[in-house]
Amino acid sequence: MSARQPVLFLSHGAPPLADDATWTGQLHDWSSRLDKPTSVLMVSAHWENQPVTVSSTRPGTPLVYDFWGFPQKYYDVIYDAPVAPELASRVAGLVDGPVYQDPDRGLDHGAYVPMVELFPEADVPVVQMSLPTLDPKGLYELGRRLTPLRDEGTLIIGSGFTTHNLRWFNPRAGADVAPPTPSAEFDHWAAEALERRDVDAILDFERVAPAASEAHPRTEHWAPLYVALGAAESTGHASEVAVDGFWYGLSKRSWQFS
């Protein structure tokens, strides 16, 4: 029997994350504290598809370079992790309702950018799963159904961003620029809400969080947290902050749920 894996919610960064020594160092340190999983189930903010769909289990499926206007080196990145057909089948058996497989769908940047830093050897089988909805309770229930995977050696990762307003992103200002007040306020609220395990507040963040509509003009980058919290339900959502700070004004706060 495999040891129970934790659940992660991480802020994934854009492709230039690879050039940020501070953030990559934080992710490498986080990875060093994890027991190596037998597989990874990745839920990225960058794949919304209904019903639940899982990525290709065909070896050699190319990555999805779902970004524009970057230097060529970011389109040359390869992350050839093993496929995980057994995990894809297991997801289909756990989820309530149909689960489709997209044979042409590789990992998008919300999946492979952090995977490159967490598991640089690309030796952990990985499957990506779509967000079938942005409804908080629906995603929480989806995560809850995936909980048994944790006892089978699968690391469940929700990949989004703790604040995500690209109007704040100014490359000329530098990665360490002081965050806008709304970003800082939302980050502080999120840290406190998870520390006190206030799942109801997290699910209702659009109504109760400060600067919610500014921190998340659209909710897809917060939504993977709902899946992570559902998958951590059986352990009471005990959390630790694995990464904090800001990147071009966006909160990169990330949590591990044990």
pLDDT in tens, 15-33: 999 999 999 999 999 999 9
Residue type, 112: Y
Tokens 């297991």 sit on residue: 90
| CB crowding 170-189: b at 16 or more within 10 Å, else e | eeeeebeeebbebbbbbbeb
Instruction: Give the pTM.
Output: 0.96
Question: Cis peptide before 98, with omega less than 30 degrees from 0?
Answer: no
Tokens 């749920």 sit on residue: 257
- HEC secondary structure over 35-103: CCCCEEEEEEEEEECCCCEECCCCCCCCCCCCCCCCCHHHHCCCCCCCCCHHHHHHHHHHCCCCCEECC
Total residues found in the chain within this entry: 258
Q: What is the pLDDT along the chain (258 residues), one digit of tens a residue?
A: 468 999 999 999 899 999 999 999 999 999 999 999 999 999 999 999 999 999 999 999 999 999 988 999 999 999 999 999 999 999 999 999 999 999 999 999 999 999 999 999 999 999 999 999 999 999 999 999 999 999 999 999 999 999 999 999 888 888 999 999 999 999 999 999 999 999 999 999 999 999 999 999 999 999 999 999 999 986 666 789 999 999 999 999 999 998
Pairwise CA distance, residues 74 & 155, whole Å: 26
Q: Which residues, 6 or more positions from 93, have their beta carbon under 8 angstroms from its beta carbon? A: none
Q: How far apart, in Å, are the Cα atoms of 10 and each of 31, 36, 90, 111, 173?
A: 12, 17, 23, 10, 24
Q: Six-digit token pair at 80?
A: 């050839």
